[in-house]
Chain A
Amino acid sequence: MRRRFVIGKILGALSTLVFVVVFNFFLFRVVNDDPINSMFRGRNLTPEQLDRLRVKFNLDGTKWEQFVAYVRQLLHGDLGYSLKSSRPVSTVIAEAIWPTILLVGTSTLLAMLGIALGYRAGWRRGSTFDATATSVSMLTYSMPEYWIGMVALGVFAAGLGWFPVGGLNDPGSTLTGLERILDQLHHMILPATVLAVAYIGEYMIVARSAMIDTSREDYLQLARAKGLREADVRKRHAQPNALLPVVSLSAINFGFVLSGAIAVESIFSWPGIGQQTQFAIAGPDFPMLQGLFLLISAAVILANLAADLLYGYLDPRVAGR
Chain B
Amino acid sequence: MKANVSNAWSRLRHDRLAMISLVVLVGFVVMAVITPWVSDRDDIRAINTADNPTWASPSSQFILGTDYLGRSVALQIMWGSRVSLFVGLAATLLTIVIGTVIGLASGFFGGWTDAVLMRITDWFLVIPFLPTAIVLAAVLNRSLWTIVFVIGITSWPSTARLVRSQVLSVRSRLYVDRARALGAGRAHLVRRHILPNVTPLVMASTTLAVPISILTETTLSFLGLGDPTQVSWGFILNEAREKGAVDRGAWWYYMPPGVAIVMVVLAFTLLGRAMETVLDPRLRET
Contacts and interface: CB of A to CB of B under 8 A. Distances in A.
A142 B258 contact: no
Contacts of A282: 224
A132 interface: no
A288 B142 CA distance: 19
Interface string B227-264: 00000001001001100001111010011011001100
Contact of B119 (A15, A23, A139, A153): A15
Interface in B123-180: 123, 126-132, 134-136, 138-140
Interface centre among B123, B215, B246 (most CB of A within 10 A): B246
Contact of A150 (B123, B218, B246): B246
Interface stretch (B5-13, B89-97, B189-197, B265-273): B265-273
A91 interface: no
Contacts of A16: 122-123, 126-127
B139 A31 contact: yes
A220 to B, nearest CB: 16
Interface in A10-35: 12-13, 15-16, 19-20, 23-24, 27-28, 31-32
Nearest to B139: A32
Contact of A19 (B123, B139, B223, B270): B123
Contact of B131 (A144, A284, A293): A293
A154 B249 contact: yes
B151 to A, nearest CB: 14
A290 interface: yes
A112 interface: no
Contacts, number: 129
A296 interface: yes
A258 B132 CA distance: 13
Contact of A154 (B131, B135, B215, B251): B251
Interface stretch (A50-58, A69-77, A297-305): A297-305
B224 A281 contact: yes
B72 interface: no
A143 interface: yes
A153 B135 CA distance: 28
B64 interface: no
Interface centre among A20, A31, A146, A282 (most CB of B within 10 A): A146
B222 interface: yes
B51 interface: no
A131 to B, nearest CB: 11
Q: Please classify the interface of chain B as helix (H, G, I), strand (E, B), loop, or mixed, using the class held by over half of its residues.
A: helix
A293 B126 contact: no
B126 A304 contact: yes
A296 B258 contact: no
Chain B residues touching A, range: 35 or more
A158 B139 contact: no
Interface in B92-127: 119, 122-123, 126-127
Contacts of B257: 147
Nearest to A31: B139
A277 to B, nearest CB: 7
A31 B246 contact: no
Contact of B246 (A158, A258, A263, A297): A158
Chain A residues touching B, range: 35 or more
Given A144-B218, A150-B237, A267-B241, A293 B132 contact: yes
Contacts of B249: 154, 158-159
Given A154-B254, A259-B128, A284 B247 contact: no
Interface in A110-158: 125, 138-139, 141-144, 146-147, 150-151, 153-154, 158
A255 B129 contact: yes
Contacts of B251: 154
A12 B254 CA distance: 43
Interface of A: 12-13, 15-16, 19-20, 23-24, 27-28, 31-32, 125, 138-139, 141-144, 146-147, 150-151, 153-154, 158-159, 165, 212, 255-256, 258-260, 262-263, 266-267, 277-278, 280-282, 284, 286, 289-290, 292-293, 296-297, 300-301, 304
Interface of B: 119, 122-123, 126-132, 134-136, 138-140, 211, 215, 218-219, 222-225, 234, 237, 240-241, 246-249, 251, 254-255, 257-258, 261-262, 265-266, 269-270, 285
25 contacts: A23-B127, A27-B135, A27-B139, A138-B269, A139-B262, A141-B269, A142-B266, A142-B269, A143-B262, A144-B219, A144-B222, A144-B237, A146-B219, A150-B246, A151-B258, A158-B249, A212-B285, A262-B130, A281-B134, A281-B138, A281-B225, A290-B135, A297-B127, A297-B132, A300-B127
Given A28-B139, A150-B246, A296-B128, 20 more contacts: A15-B123, A16-B123, A32-B139, A138-B266, A142-B211, A143-B261, A144-B237, A146-B237, A147-B254, A147-B261, A153-B246, A154-B246, A259-B130, A259-B131, A262-B223, A263-B219, A267-B241, A282-B224, A292-B131, A301-B126
